[in-house]
Structures are given as structure tokens and as C-alpha cells.
A = this chain, B = another copy of it.
Amino acid sequence: MVIVMKTGATNEQIETVIKRVAELGMKPHTVKGEEKTIIGCVGNDDILRSHPIEQFEGVESVQTITKPYKFASREFKKEDTIIDVKGIKIGGGNFAVMAGPCSVEGEEMMFSTAKMASEAGARILRGGAFKPRTSPYDFQGLGEEGLRYMQNAARQYNMAVVTEVMDVREIELIDKYADMFQIGARNMQNFSLLKEIGKTQKPILLKRGMSSTIKDLLMAAEYIIAGGNNQVILCERGIRTFETYTRNTIDMNIIPSAKELSHLPIILDPSHGTGKRSLVTPMALSGLVAGADGLMIEVHPQPEVALSDGPQSLRFNEFQELMEKVKKYLEFENKRIG
């Protein structure tokens, strides 16, 4: 930690801070500058999180140095983490595609989707049974019935299941049907949910919040890992900005950034990231080349009548075309499709 004292801070004020630093178990080293005095502190910064120093008289700023997340950090684990979802690998050169409708709407559509997607190369089936709808008047999902349809279809076509869990009380039920839990963007800082999900044994797909920094995202991953479950896959799905042409703004920088700061795999969801069908394929490939370990793509047999997210869902033929390209690029880059 580095404490910068204000220009004109008195000796007394500086002494008070130095004393406090020592009380907190850190070693202070004072550097008297031309204008300001700097106090470098040796020891673990974490104690400052509960005993902040900013408001002591004369203090201008406090800079923590140690990262607030540990288990999620690349400094903790140098090698890429490879997550195994029912035998499908993600990370460390293994690429996986998750596909399916936004909402599970019925059994037949889940079967036709699973058949098409698995033949195209997607190994993980997605679909929402419990939907986070912005309006209380929107379709909220089929619940357990939806989970059942999804699981049946997945089993038929040898796919794994990922679905969103929104409520701590649903975890047990969803655990019967899902192979991976998804934490939605709006729940990335639902700390109760993160704590509970950390107690589960299955992989977690953690979506970045709409205005979450990469640091916030890794802190959320840290919550889950600290809770006991280190099988976390990060997911970029677009952030909120001033641009209105697209539903969200994909922050592609986060893909290689995450690989610098963390060992966890990171995938891209270009469906929510753009909100426009016509942009999904170019952005999916762009993300692959940026280093993503996978994709999550919304597909629907007939997007015009989809109960949610129709405008961004790919038709079956569009998804097949995308997968052909994905396979070509993966081969070109020497990666394996999981």
C-alpha cells in the first residue's frame, strides 16, 4: 500500500498515520518528497479493506497494491484452468460452443434444436426455464417442465445442459437437471447467490454485469471460489454504454485482458452482446480470434415467433453456417473443439 499525504500535511498528521500503519501490522517507510510525503507500507493490504486510512487528517490518497482477488488470479495459478462439463473441456486450448433458445418454450423445439446444434458441433445445450425478465408482465419461463424438456433433449443428443439459476431456493431443483449453472449478468453481484452457488459441485458460467469492470468480474469469481467451487467460466456478454445501435457493447478487450489477469477460461456471448442477428457471426469469429475459449449462441427454429430475444437469435441454417466457420478457424488456430 502507498499512502500519499497532502501538500502541507503537518508532521503531527504524518506521525499519526505512520502510527496507525504500524498498529495495523504493516511496516511504514516514509519518503519525503518536494511537495508531498509518501508512506510505503509493507505487509498485506487486505487489512485496509476493513480499516481504511483515507480519511485520516492530511491524507490525500491511498493506493492498494495487492490485488483484491487471489484464487482467481494468474499469480496464484500460472497454468490455464481447464473446466470439464460432463466430459466437454473448456479452456487451455479447448473450445466449446453452447447453443439453444433464449427460453425453453416447448419439448419439440428443444429436440429439434438439440439435434441441429449437436450435429453442427455444439456440445452444450442452453435454454432458460427460469427467466430474468425486465417486466413482470413478460413470459417468466416454464419452470421445472422446461428443465425436463431440456434435459431429455440433451440426453438424446449427448449434450450437456447449462441453465440460469436466479434464486438460491431453486439451486437444488435445477441441480437435478443442469450440468452447469449460469449466473446471469444482473445477478453478478447478487452475493447471496454467489455464496450459495459456491457450495455446489458443478461448473459455473459467470456472466459479466452490464457495468462491471474486469476487476468486479474477477471479484465475483473469487466469491464463488472462496465459497468452495473453483470451476468458474467467465463470460463476456456486452456492457452498457451510450451506443444505442446495438443492445449492448461487446468489450472485446476483456478476452485477452482476462487471460493476463486470471487462469479461468472466458467465453463470449455475441447474441446478447449485439442484440442483432446480422452481427452475431462476425462477432463470434472475432471473439474466437481474440482468444475466447468458447461461445454462447442463441438459436431458434423460428425467431419471428420466439417468446424472447427473437431479434438476436440465429436460424438453424445461420447457426450451421457459423459452426462451419468456427471449425475452420479453430483448425487454423490449432485449437480443439470440445
A156 at the interface (CB under 8 A from B): no
Flag whether A63 is at the interface (Cβ < 8 A): yes
Residues of B within 8 A of A68 (CB): 134-135, 137
Q: Write out, one digit per residue, whether chain A residues 296-308 have a CB within 8 A of any chain B CB (1) or not (0).
A: 0000000111111
> A303–B31 Cα gap in the complex (Å)?
26
Contact B219 A38 (CB under 8 A): no
Interface size of A by Cβ–Cβ distance < 8 Å? 106
Contacts of A288 in B (CB 8 A): 289
Whether B243 and A240, one on each chain, are in contact in the complex, defined by CB atoms closer than 8 angstroms, is: no
The one of B31, B53, B167, B193 in contact with A29, judged by C-beta atoms closer than 8 angstroms, is: B31
Mark each residue of chain A from 104 to 136: 1 if its CB lies under 8 Å from any CB of chain B, else 0.
000000000000000000000000000011111
In the complex the two chains form, is B133's CB within 8 Å of A191's CB?
Answer: yes
| Residue from the list B50, B187, B261 in contact with A190, Cβ < 8 A | B187
Mask of A213-247 contacts with B, CB within 8 angstroms, 1/0 = 11110010011001100000000000111111110
Chain A contacts to B: CB under 8 angstroms: 2, 4, 7, 29, 31-36, 38, 40, 42-44, 46, 49-56, 63, 65-66, 68-69, 75, 132-139, 166-170, 186-187, 189-193, 195, 210-211, 213-216, 219, 222-223, 226-227, 239-246, 249-257, 260-261, 273-274, 277-279, 282-283, 285-291, 303-308, 310-311, 328-329, 332
